[in-house]
Amino acid sequence: MIRFKTSIIAPAALALMMTAGAIALAEAEDEQPNPPQQSWSFYGIFGKYDQAQLQRGFQVYREVCSRCHRLSIPFRELADPDGPGYSVAQVKTLAASYQVENAEPNDQGNMFKRPGTPADLFPPPDAFPNDAAAIAAMGKAPPNMNLIAKSLKYERGFPTFIFDIFTAYQEMGADFIYAIMNGYTKPDDPTWNLYYPGHKIAMPQPLTDGVVKYEDGTPGTVPNYAKDVASFLTWVAEPTLLERKKIGFRVIIFLIVLSSLLYLTKKKIWADAH
């Protein structure tokens, strides 16, 4: 048994936490606002991707982001039934609409381009031949998008970061992408973004109302585009999310039952030892 003077320790611990909290607050004041938390279909224990939303998000990527941002995933992933869920035929047609450089040269030793297959990666964008060219033109190379949703972070702060453990909040990246897309709040300064660290962003505002025509009747507004593309990029970064949560749910139910049985066994075995 652990018995200690909670009357003395608790105030000490509380004082420490408050000091730490005050430090965090003092630091937060002179910085930019945190991206507001959005509601996502893939949040939480039973969260899963919304197929129509991912397809819309892919459309936004294809028509807007892909001009500058590379996405190094194979076309075949788009047929993932837990993800955008395109049919194999659709993916084949889509892949064939891209010109992909063959990995090996032809008989004459020349590199050549051919229509893509589902096994090929999305080809790099045409806008810049390499990162140096992008940096020369934009000031910064557009990051590869395949892990971008997992690479963004902001301070969750105390005590939110503790609650995140129990609410299974993992959507920092999606919140961040959504916030950046909606963060161009100074029309006279195209390089200013409310949520980008330091506010100076190299990417000019990529999404404006009506820039993408949705086929399913969803209104073409920036918040809708942002939500859809953030969902799409989350799927790109974490395509196994649904499988993971499904298996995890079974594992935890199993372990709870096992633990209960083990506890009863333990009680029975120890009954004669006391």
Contact flag: residue 132 with other proteins (CB under 8 A):
no
Taking the complex as a whole, how short is the minimal distance between the CB of residue 261 and other proteins, in angstroms? 9
Q: Is residue 147 near other proteins by the rule CB under 8 A? A: yes
- Which CB, 26 or 89, lies closer to other proteins? 26
CB of 157 to other proteins, least distance (A): 10
Q: Please give the Cα distance from 110 to 81 (Å, whole number).
A: 38
Query: Which one of residues 87, 97, 106, 151 is an interface residue with other proteins (CB under 8 A)?
Result: 151
Q: Where are the alpha helices (DSSP H) in the chain?
A: 6-29, 51-63, 88-96, 131-138, 148-151, 160-167, 172-181, 222-237, 241-270
106 or 265: CB nearest other proteins: 265
Contact 179, 190 (CB under 8 A): no
Selected from 32, 127, 164, 199, the binder of other proteins by CB under 8 A is: 164
The CA distance from 51 to 55, in Å, is 6
In whole angstroms, give the CA distance from residue 119 to residue 265: 52
State which of residues 18, 45, 111, 132 lies at the interface with other proteins (CB under 8 A): 45
Beta bridge partners, 99, equal 115
If one asks whether residue 199 binds other proteins (CB under 8 A), the answer comes out as no
User: What's the Cα-to-Cα distance from 64 to each of 103, 127, 158, 187, 212, rounded to whole Å?
Assistant: 27, 12, 37, 20, 8
Q: Return the DSSP state at 32.
A: P
Binding flag, residue 54, other proteins (CB under 8 A): no
- The site for other proteins (CB under 8 A) is made up of 1-5, 8-9, 12-13, 16, 19-20, 22-24, 26-27, 45, 73, 77, 143, 146-148, 150-153, 158, 164-165, 168-170, 172-173, 197, 237, 239-240, 244-245, 247-249, 251-252, 255-256, 258-259, 262-263, 265-266, 269-270, 273-274
